[in-house]
Chain A
Amino acid sequence: MIVSIDWLKDYIDIDIPLEELAEKLTVAGAECTLKQSGIRIPDGVLVAKVLDTRPHPNAEKLSVCKVDTGTGEILNIVCGAPNVIAGRLVPVATVGTKLAPDFELKEVRLRGELSQGMICAEDELGLGNDHSGIMLLPDDYEIGRPFADYYPVYPILDVEVTANRPDLMSHWGLVRMISVITGKPFKKVPFCLEEKEKDIREICKISVEAPEGCPRYSARVVKNVRIQPSPAWLRQRLESVGLRPVNNVVDAANYVLMETGHPLHTFDLDKLAGPEIRVRFAVKGEKFETLDHKERTLSEKVLLICDAKNPVALAGLMGGLASEVDDNTRNILIESAYFTPSVIRRASKDQQLSTDASKRFERGTDPNAGLEYARDRLAALIAELTGGEIAKGVIDVYPEPIPAKRARLNLSKVKSITGIELSGTNCRATLEALGFEILNAGDNFLDVGIPTFRPDVEREIDLVEEVAVNHMDKIPTMERMSISIPESFDTFHPFTDKTRQFFTGYGMHEAINNSLVSEAAASAGIWGYPPLKILNPLSLEMNMLRTDMIQPLLGSLRVNALRKRGDIRLFELANVIERDPASETGAREHYNLGVLCSSSLWGLSWTEAERSADFFYMKGILEHFMDLLGFTVKLRENTQNAAFETLYDIMLRKEVIGKIGQYRGDFFEKLQLQHPLVIMELQLGTLYQWYEPRKQHTPPPAYPSIFRDLSLVMDKTVRANTLINEIMQQGGKYLIDCLLYDMYIDEKKLGEDKKALSFRLEFRSEKETLKDSQIDNVMNKLFKQLENQYGARLR
């Protein structure tokens, strides 16, 4: 919303610096920036006359001109434009002109000819995009005059109006706020409404069949108008606030709109069948062509203004082509109506049409004084501008007048909500300047009448806000506060923090991915959750919510691989979402951890040969993470997913709480990954539920351990896990650990289909230092057992 300072001054004296005014309005809730309307022509550009032109001796496309800039001196200027003509007036940038912040015009020689300035094209002055030739000016421009004089600039305020303040979408609205700031009164501009014979009721008929959508419809008629371009003062005012002048009637309506904030519509009375106005809701499927040349199919949500036969406007949204005011219009019907905000909003959504008028109506316009003032003011203005005659009286369909609301403001409430100490007089002055009426003033309260142009105010707290925002600087800042401390503190954030610390400690980078994914990605989720659909997606690439952590991480993998990043180690904590019709939100959220890795184990280094992180790397991380949390998980092979070389369900308390796997090498061939792709996903939310911080410590061992190595040769098919379990079970009471530390395969030495595994067994007693003899028996027994059961032999 743009308001012009010049225009504001019609209604209030402004005697404080404009920067200060803008700042104070901003603090009071009307965020605004002080700007200049129009185009700022640089100083040094003058109106000049081309006296003579001749072709440039050394350049085919250039000409050399003699130019009179009114200073007495005749300039020599080289010009490349095809349309430079002797005798015409042109804008000339003289030497020293700053055409851009970093471009100051200098005297130069162009191919040997002196050039003492520049004849400008439209685009060079920021006036348009035309660079086909220089600007040729009307002959009545004055030679030597600064060109900027023909492009006056006006100070304006660019105001960001919040959604609750329809009243601020006008000059009047700002004037009321300025009145609080400066203490100066708001003066409405008087106008003269001269009615002529013939009562409006004899001219046309109005009926409202849908009062729920249109509580008030009010009209005036102006006859015998002459449609013309508006006078300069009106054109300039509209242009200064960013509106394009059309003709005197349309411009007058826009003028009153910008003044009061009340949207008005003008019909060509002679194009209305009847002439009659009927207000009704559309019938489903009804067609109508709006001013924007769109043929629209309507629904019963749309409120229509019709004549005796056809619709002529979408109420509160846009007029129709058929009844538009044009150059031949003679008689005007002015519509000044109040439409129900929610009705206009629904119609606007239904037609996907948001206009300046609809924005105002859906926020709520003034059904009472504002509506009447705007109607009469427009009639008077049209009569003045077009020479038309205002028909006698108004037609005003307003069966149930909307009363002004009232509320009591207890002065203690101002203090208890804002902390500001304000006197009743002070509150009163603020409210009155804003247009509120003080109905009754008690010692510690004010009964306030709320004007109908303020639909956002109805309760005491709203009045508190009115007072508070206009005294923001008086709100004290508490330096010492007594606060209530919670009884218990959240433990989830520390848990996620611990998780993040763990994974960054292992050299992983934390990723953050979009929760919105494509249908393909949502369907490929590793958990097989039914995906939740977005009903109004931005694109098909983002029409579902992620059902796992892995799919979005694969997206990050792609980004990195395409940029030839060799080491990619990512983890992410986020919600994955499962469609769940039984939930109140239609969704069930799982807070998960995803890990993805295609990387070397360590950077290229002289200390170690390069090695890739693989499934066992991820498995090691899983084991350590579970160790950190105090869980013992089991892995269960999962052969369901063809994309994986190997995939395991991570089992805890008989539930699948995670997945860990390595993708098949050919699965991402196109990405030319340099290392195997391994992933892991954990249901972190579940782990958090089950997690209990370690309560008791275990005393460090008091006696030393005895270590025994066991190297066994066996069939390749014997699984390491089976052997470890066996050893742990059969190893006697002193065995505390069995570490598999080597695997060796050599068909010649060991035989086909054989492998050698080496274990380091750790024995320890809580009560004594063990002797070798105590272990020898166990080892013998253990070996026998493994020999019998698994055909293992010593290596």
Chain B
Amino acid sequence: MNKATISEIRKQFDKTLEEVHDAAALEALKYRYLGRKGKIADLFSRIRDLSSESRKEAGELLNRLKADLSAAIDARTAAFSAPREQRSYIDYSMPGYAMHRGSRHPLTQAVDDMLNIFQRLGFDIAYGPEVETDWFNFESLNFPPDHPARDMQDTFYTEGGGVLRTHTSPVQTRYMSTHEPPLRIVAPGRVFRNEAISARSYCLFHQIEGLYVDEGITFADLKGTIERFCRLYYGKDVKIKFRGSYFPFTEPSAEIDVSCFLCGGKGCPVCKQSGWLEIMGCGMVDPNVLKAVNYDTERFSGYAFGLGIERMLMMRLGINDIRILFENDVEFLKQF
């Protein structure tokens, strides 16, 4: 008897144990190895035949083997012996507690995602009122009275001489009239247009305005900032196009298109086959706007931009009726 014999026995045991699937078979196995006439007892009985030097070593090996086999059999016995009906039975496949989950409105989420990026780009957040004066909403932004530019934005007028702000741009002059440059802000908020409500347009929507005024700001800074924003928000492969446009409060002005995030620029129904989506307007702050808040136009320049949330979100979520955003059907809201 030597190590090889013992490890051979061990191998045989393990193999047999694997094939045991009920208590009776286990009992038989135990009897075969550990019983009074079992294999271990038989090996012990043969120790006598060994030389006195080997006896000690063989005894140790056999004792260890016996202990190991007992432990292995006990472990199996425990698994088989407890009768099922006596164990406390819990069906863990039952569903979990049914707490209600809440959700942020998708518009808020979109605004927050964007604000998050702008904040990391060093912009602070500013606010302005929703009922505005004509001066802040139009005149301070270089919309002269009786100018057709006012028709670009159908306006709600309120009693007492106010207007419902038609864009977040009045926050520019509001903020500048109480702060000195340098200033770097984004202003989210509700804006209103007097347009018939339909699947494509609603009298209320959300914008984010951006403004940076400092010494030596150029259109190249604007381009750098906006391109970075677009890559962070739409993904790093997005293509960005600046094209000339007109806003009374910026000069030069531009519209920004990004390559359609659905088709990647190949053309699809969302981008009306053009491959491009118009996402925001921007430009260098018109000197008349800086003059309106008594800034030194020789010393300071700045850029401004404004983007609408609803249209972008609708394209993203595949919404074709804007009204779903303002109905507050919980079956819609809970998806977000």
Contact = CB atoms under 8 A, between A and B. Distances in A.
A583 B129 CA distance: 12
A478 B303 CA distance: 14
A345 B221 contact: no
A179 to B, nearest CB: 16
A476 B220 contact: yes
B328 A513 contact: yes
B237 to A, nearest CB: 16
B243 A586 contact: no
Nearest to B132: A585
Interface stretch (A66-74, A497-505, A695-703): A497-505
A461 B287 CA distance: 8
B139 interface: no
Given A533-B159, A603-B99, A515 B190 contact: yes
A500 B333 CA distance: 14
A606 B326 contact: no
Contact of A512 (B98, B255, B328): B328
Contacts of B242: 27, 472, 475
Interface in B145-165: 145-149, 151-152, 156-162, 164
A674 interface: no
Contacts of B152: 163
B183 A486 contact: yes
B82 interface: no
A498 B101 CA distance: 17
Contact of B124 (A464, A486, A565): A486
B67 to A, nearest CB: 47
A417 B219 contact: yes
Interface in B285-327: 286-287, 301, 325-327
Given A461-B287, A508-B102, A419 B131 contact: no
Contacts of B251: 461-462, 464-465
Given A569-B102, A589-B129, A607 B97 contact: yes
Given A461-B286, A586-B159, A489 B328 contact: no
B328 A559 contact: yes
B102 A505 contact: yes
Interface stretch (B20-28, B45-53, B196-204): B196-204
A339 to B, nearest CB: 13
Interface in B197-221: 197, 202-204, 212, 214, 216, 218-221
B104 interface: yes
Contacts of A192: none
B15 to A, nearest CB: 45
A507 B243 contact: no
Given A477-B220, A515-B130, A538-B196, A165 B246 contact: yes
A342 B146 contact: yes
B203 A345 contact: no
A20 interface: no
A514 B204 CA distance: 7
A270 B212 CA distance: 63
A577 B131 CA distance: 9
A240 interface: no
Contacts of B253: 465
A512 B107 contact: yes
A556 interface: yes
A607 B98 contact: yes
A593 to B, nearest CB: 13
A464 B185 CA distance: 25
B130 A589 contact: yes
A535 B327 contact: no
Contacts of B181: 484
Nearest to A505: B102
Given A556-B327, A556-B328, A29 B245 contact: yes
A479 B228 CA distance: 8
Contact of B329 (A26, A31, A461, A563): A563
A655 B143 CA distance: 42
Nearest to A565: B330
B220 A418 contact: yes
B249 interface: no
A30 B253 CA distance: 12
A603 B100 contact: yes
B331 A563 contact: yes
Contacts of A164: 149, 246, 248
Interface in A57-90: none
Contacts of A189: none
Interface string B232-274: 0000000001111110100111110000000000000000000
B108 interface: yes
A459 B288 CA distance: 10
Interface residues of A, number: 101
A477 B325 CA distance: 36
A516 B204 contact: yes
Contact of B158 (A346, A493, A500, A534): A534
B326 A585 contact: no
Contacts of A584: 133
Given A532-B159, A569-B100, A163 B151 contact: yes
A483 interface: yes
A629 to B, nearest CB: 18
Contacts of B212: 483
A668 interface: no
Nearest to A508: B102
Given A29-B244, A508-B102, A589-B129, A481 B157 contact: no
B244 A472 contact: yes
A472 B183 CA distance: 26
B196 A475 contact: no
Interface string A314-354: 00000000000000000000000000011001100000000
Contacts of A607: 97-98
A511 B219 contact: no
Nearest to A462: B251
**Which of A342, A479, A513, A515: most chain B CB closer than 10 A?**
A515
Interface string B174-187: 00000001111100
A286 B125 CA distance: 54
B122 A513 contact: no
Contact of B220 (A475, A486, A508): A475
A542 interface: yes
B66 interface: no
B136 to A, nearest CB: 9
B70 interface: no
Interface in A728-753: none
B109 to A, nearest CB: 9
Nearest to A417: B284
A509 B330 contact: yes
Contact of B334 (A26, A493, A509, A587): A509
Contact of A490 (B126, B146, B204, B255): B126
21 contacts: A27-B242, A27-B243, A164-B149, A164-B246, A164-B248, A461-B286, A464-B251, A477-B224, A477-B227, A478-B221, A483-B212, A490-B124, A504-B103, A507-B99, A510-B105, A516-B204, A534-B156, A536-B194, A559-B328, A563-B329, A577-B130
Nearest 4 CB-CB pairings of A with B: A586-B160, A29-B244, A419-B220, A507-B100
Interface of B: 94-95, 97-105, 107-108, 112, 115, 121-122, 124-127, 129-133, 145-149, 151-152, 156-162, 164, 181-185, 190, 192, 194, 196-197, 202-204, 212, 214, 216, 218-221, 223-225, 227, 241-246, 248, 251-255, 284, 286-287, 301, 325-331, 333-334
